[in-house]
Structure 1
């Protein structure tokens, strides 16, 4: 048995592989890791939605790996964050985070997002080649989440570098070192904010309470790292993937250029069409379950392929067609259930503002390379471009 997702062609275009796997069976075993271990990959929409909300699928990675003799040295703030936990602990943490991470805070950030977007686009040479990823998709979300968390300007390059290193596929030493760098930095930043408080999201997390309950020091550090990484990683890939999809469909791109107020309504379809998170974070069965006609034993990992589920024709007719008139609100690009991405409104706000600005500033923007020559990041967890050359 081989893992078809390890085929080099999969990174370039995973959807034919997903279609073949889903057609054979929407839930099937695949080998993972060098030790011949087996996980179950979910590629059907109905099965993915069920798995994401099934309490028998645990996200408690500490419980799963206990006693397995792992040689990894991830910092606990990264290894045991809110995403890697179950109720009631997850419920408690999310409730405290939600108090601080409000839609009002996102609305207040829109002028800042617009200003940063304009400053970044000012650096693009008019009528020449630019890189959409390096010039906008990477720096914009990083600057925004750092602003939201209160990370000083001078610290942002290092924070951005460490965050990127957390996704260094095949480099566990680099990932582990980055986790300690980020956690150490956030520990120092929290201490500084206690001495000199401000109005950032991190300040609000420090003071967040639910009755007599509040975040412990370890929980604060963990949440700060999680919000920093999750707050820009998904958005970076979302912006790049959506830009590529529109550039490959010039009529749709022109439609949005002529009617920019349509942009908020089409973001769900862009998220569905090429999901920025390819595979949801780690889950494992706490008891034997049946999913999609497949019996899954207790104690094995279940990988939910969000990108595959969003191309399931049983849920989205003609799923390989970009249809900006489609109602794609039920997509799984931000997950589903109690672990659905808390930062979804911020990601959509950044995309709305970014695409309005790009189309207003560069109405003739087009691809500078053939799509099949573009390089994709070498990881199965997220789906994102290394670069996206465009001509303005």
Structure 2
């Protein structure tokens, strides 16, 4: 639906259609004819929507666009109440301070050291599926427990508490799947749980997990990481670190089954898997729509369009990743794509801090599934699959499979 205001401005109702993992053709239309367009989300003020790759990178990476300026504004959003806080509502240098502290604890070495552990877990879940017999559910039997176990190991969170924090994590990605009072309750439960873990860890700071590392970093930096910041940071990593990968794993498989020849290439040549992960991150529109606007701190020109100071801009990563000016045959899945500067993990100061962890988990998952279950296939037709609704990210409720 569009709303025409006079003869000068068209305001598009947003988000656009999000059916399964299809990207609405409206994005291509806007990229070609109206790359910076006006949109109205279900809640909040009107915004600009950037759909071209170069414009999206500019908004995400240019200091003239601010997240901190959203505080106190009726920012455009998918849900009734704004729930974005902490680092996602900060600009440098405050954001840089916290990001640097995370980087000291959340190192590539620490993530890579988890690869053997993750491989062992993935193998064990496949063993259990085989022992139980087909059909299995790739969501419940594999995609849900694997990222949860890995993020628990990384952070130092008891895996046996998974049933609780996986429920609470829904609050972070819910738009309408949960009532507002339940969202508040789940946030309180999640952060209260993390605060208890942090308090317990003070008695054993030598433990080599991320909670312990953050506590040591905080102490080394004269308390520049407050207790509240630490709790919010760990809670966010726990929830987002398992929720997004849990959604993407079945999305990856669903897409590879749609392009079965690409699955067969991975079965035949596992060396293609790292590139396949990057291509699938580019190709799959994980988000239902653009979120987390940036506010212009001064007038900024995008060709003939000027974003005025104080106006919010949303960016579509999914649309940018299908820009034909950057990607050859952008609507085709090509796991052997040579040039792939996708921004599936974002860009700029707020680039996903867990990108390396997600890459490692997705690589391991594809390796184990293609090599252990090369004939893996959906047990039901695509039209019979159920997709979750009322959430910021696209995800299957279940994915019955045979092998």
For normalisation by structure 1, the TM-score amounts to: 0.90
Deviations 1:300-343 (A, max 9, x none): 33211111110111111211100111135410100011111121
Distance 1:4 1:387, change over 3 A: farther
- 1:55-74 residue pairs with structure 2 within 5 A? 55-60=63-68, 63-65=71-73
Question: What is the RMSD of the two structures over their aligned residues, measured on CA atoms?
Answer: 2.6
Aligned residue in 1 for 2:246: 236
CA displacement 1:40-62 (0-9 Å, x = unmatched): 11111111111110212211266
Other-structure match for 1:376: 387
2:153 aligns to what SS in structure 1?
Answer: helix
Q: In the alignment, what sits opposite 1:357?
A: 368
Please give the alpha-carbon distance, in whole angstroms, between the structure 2 residues aligned to 1:62 and 1:180. Answer: 23
Q: Counterpart in 2 of 1:308?
A: 319
Residues 1:100 and 2:97 aligned together: no
Q: Which residue of 1 aligns with 2:201?
A: 193
Unaligned runs of at least 5 residues, structure 1: none
Q: Does residue 81 of the first structure (1) align with residue 89 of the second (2)?
A: no
Task: Please report how far the alpha carbon of residue 261 of structure 1 lies from its aligned counterpart in structure 2 after TM superposition.
Answer: 2.2
Alpha-carbon distance change, 220 to 244 in structure 1, aligned in 2, over 3 angstroms: same
**For residue 329 of structure 2, what is the aligned residue in structure 1?**
318
Map 1:73-152 to 2 at 5 A: 79-125=84-130, 128-152=134-158
For 2:69 and 2:294, how far apart are their aligned partners in 1? 8
Q: Is the 8 A contact 1:59 1:86 kept in 2?
A: yes
The alignment status of 1:43 with 2:51, answered yes or no, reads: yes
Deviates more, 1:194-203 or 1:380-389: 380-389
Deviations 1:13-60 (A, max 9, x none): 23322212222311111112356x311111111111111102122112
C-alpha distance in 2, partners of 1:63/1:143? 34
SS at match of 1:124: helix
Q: 1:222-273, CA deviations, whole angstroms, 9 ceiling, x for partnerless residues?
A: 1111211221222223322221221111111111111112211221111101
Partner secondary structure for residue 15 of structure 1: coil
| Cα distance change of structure 1 residues 247 and 46 upon mapping to structure 2, 3 Å threshold | same
Q: Which moved more, 1:322-331 or 1:356-365?
A: 322-331
Q: Is 1:30 paired with 2:39?
A: yes
Partner of 2:22: 13
Q: Does 1:181 align with 2:189?
A: yes
Structure 2 gaps of 5+ residues are 4-10
Deviations 1:92-115 (A, max 9, x none): 101111000011111211121112
1:295: which partner in 2?
A: 306
How far apart, in 2, do the equivalents of 1:351 and 1:8 lie? Answer: 27
Identify which range, 123-132 or 262-271, moves more after superposition.
123-132
Aligned-partner SS, 2:25? helix
Corresponding pairs, count: 386
1:276-309 residue CA offsets vs partner (Å, 9 max, x unmatched):
3453533222333223542223323321111111
Per the alignment, do residues 56 and 224 of structure 1 end up closer, same or farther by CA in structure 2, a change over 3 Å counting?
same
The CA deviation at 1:351 is 1.0
| Alignment correspondent of 1:344 | 355
CA distance 1:17–1:237, change in 2 (3 Å):
farther
Q: Is the 8 A contact 2:327 2:340 kept in 1?
A: no
Q: TM-score, normalised by structure 2?
A: 0.88
Q: Is the 8 A contact 1:267 1:348 kept in 2?
A: yes
Measured in 2, the distance between the counterparts of 1:82 and 1:259 equals: 40
Contact 1:12 1:372 in 2 (8 A): no
What CA distance in whole angstroms lies between the structure 2 residues aligned with 1:25 and 1:247?
34
1:208 paired with 2:217, answer yes
Q: Please tell me whether residue 284 in structure 1 is matched to residue 295 in structure 2.
A: yes
